[in-house]
Structure formats: C-alpha cells, structure tokens
Amino acid sequence: MNQDQLKRQAAEKVVEFLPSGGVLGVGTGSTVNHFIDVLADVKGRFDGAVSSSEASTERLKAIGMQVLDLNSVGELEVYVDGADESNHQLELIKGGGGALTREKIIAAASKQFVCIADASKLVSCLGEFPLPVEVIPMARSYVARELVKLGGNPVLREDFITDNGNVILDVHGLEIMEPIKMETEINNIVGVVTVGLFASRGADVLILGDEAGARVITP
Ligand code: 5RP
C-alpha cells in the first residue's frame, strides 16, 4: 500500500470513534481530506462541523456539511485531525499545512482528540519534521533569533501566509526530548502566535494506517 492508501485506511477506521450526533471538530491536511470523503456517507447524523482551515471548510461544504463557528457551539465531543509526527505518548508535531493555530484551538475545545495518520508518522523522538511556529509578521526576525537560542534553525516558509494573516517559521534541527517544556518555552516568546507542538494537549487516540491494518494506539 502507498502512503495515501494508508492515510485512507486510518480515515476509514476513525468512523468507529465518532459520536452518534452533535458537532464534530475537523482538522486539515491530506489525511483529513480522506476523512471528509468518508464523512460524506455518515454526515446526516451530525449537526455540523467546526473547521480548522479555509481549505477544510470548502471541502466540508462540498459534501453538504454545515460549517459552524466555534463560538456558537459548546465543547466538542470529538476532534479528528492528522499530524506530521507523533511519539508514543501521542505528543504531536502539527502545522505542516499551516493550520496549527485553529487546530490547537479546536483541540483545546474538544473532549477527545483522535489523530489519524499513516504509520510513518510514529517516531520515538519528535523533531525530525521541522517544527512549525506561527508568528506575527513584524516579530519574524526577533522570534527567529530566540529560536536559534533554543538550538533550532528557523526557516521562513516561502510564499505562505496563514489563514490568520501570519507567517510560519519552520524550525529544523531540534531534538525534542521534553515536548511540554519546549512547547511552553516557544509559546512564551513574544510574537509567537502558536507553536506546532501539541504536547500539553496531545491526542487521546492515534489511528495509524499500517500494512497489517489500522492500528489504534493510546498513550
Ligand atoms: C496541518 C496539519 C496536518 O494535520 C499535518 O500537516 C498532516 O498532514 P497530512 O495529513 O497531509 O500528512 O497539521 O496544519
């Protein structure tokens, strides 16, 4: 199976983890795109979805799912999203698609975060995937210097502006031994909007598309 088929497998398995109704949280990325396709068959039982990006909103609307403002709904039962890396504690690196801020907000507002990915995303130590950091544009250079002090090599994502009007620094060369500590340190740099480390609120369940079938992992 290729990587895309493994993503599809994880997206199909997640149906077993969906509530019987209510409003769903929906993330962003190619794995989530598969999930939205799968959702087309069961969408009737949900009141709608809260979306983490303009791209997912468009896809949700295309399958006829109502997209709701997070401010108009209460706590979400389940949030489904992908990841760029996960360790065995289900601490994640996210933001490869640049939607990390809205993703983090929805994850925080959800009772359960179910992460879907192909098996290549499971790692023993986070950091091989460059860590995305969303930054207010005027703070870009300052934040970059602070990230260098933390041992990283920040690179501005070219020709990319987030849905919130900000830029992304992708931080290479980090070996993230203490994800919660690093998440806090980077969050505390003035000018940082969001760091793509999802450690203090990681996933509750990880569904991995694997050659042997979909694997369900809990911390
Ligand atoms: C977007 C994300 C995605 O979940 C992450 O990049 C994984 O993407 P894909 O499913 O395409 O591998 O965090 O901001």
Residues 6+ apart with CB under 8 A from 203: 83, 86, 90, 92, 113, 114, 115
For the chain, give the mean pLDDT.
97
Q: Which of 85, 91, 103, 146 is catalytic?
A: 103
d(CA 209, CA 1): 10
- Does the annotation count 58 as an active-site position? no
User: For residue 133, what pLDDT band results from cuts at 50, 70 and 90?
Assistant: very high
Q: Helices 3-13 & 30-39, crossing angle to 10 degrees?
A: 40
> Do residue 108 and residue 204 come from a single domain?
yes
Distance 80 CA to ligand 1 centre (A): 11
Pocket test for ligand 1, best of 38, 84, 93, 193 (most atoms within 8 A of CB): 84
According to the annotation, is 30 in a ligand binding site?
yes
What average pLDDT does this structure show over 57-79?
A: 97
Q: Which residue's C-alpha comes closest to atom 4 of ligand 1?
A: 82
Q: In the prediction, which pLDDT does 196 show?
A: 98
Residues 6+ apart with CB under 8 A from 46: 21, 22, 23, 24, 65
Q: What is the pLDDT of residues 77-98, one digit of tens each?
A: 999 999 999 999 999 999 999 9
> Do residue 181 and residue 109 come from a single domain?
no
> Do residue 111 and residue 10 come from a single domain?
yes
Q: What is the pLDDT of residues 95-128, one digit of tens each?
A: 999 999 999 999 999 999 999 999 999 999 999 9
Q: In the prediction, which pLDDT does 122 show?
A: 98
Note down the domain range covering 66: 3-123+200-217
Pairs from 182-188 (Cβ < 8 Å, separation ≥ 24) = 182/150, 185/150, 186/131, 186/133, 186/147, 186/150
According to the annotation, is 165 in a ligand binding site?
no
What average pLDDT does this structure show over 10-34?
A: 97
> Do residue 104 and residue 136 come from a single domain?
no
> Do residue 192 and residue 205 come from a single domain?
no
> Do residue 36 and residue 100 come from a single domain?
yes
Pocket test for ligand 1, best of 2, 31, 56 (most atoms within 8 A of CB): 31
> Do residue 108 and residue 145 come from a single domain?
no
Q: What is the pLDDT of residues 154-173, one digit of tens each?
A: 999 999 999 999 999 999 99
What average pLDDT does this structure show over 137-153?
A: 98
Q: How many domains are contained in the chain?
A: 2
* CATH, residue 168: 3.30.70.260
Q: In the prediction, which pLDDT does 202 show?
A: 98
152 lines ligand 1 (CB under 6 A): no
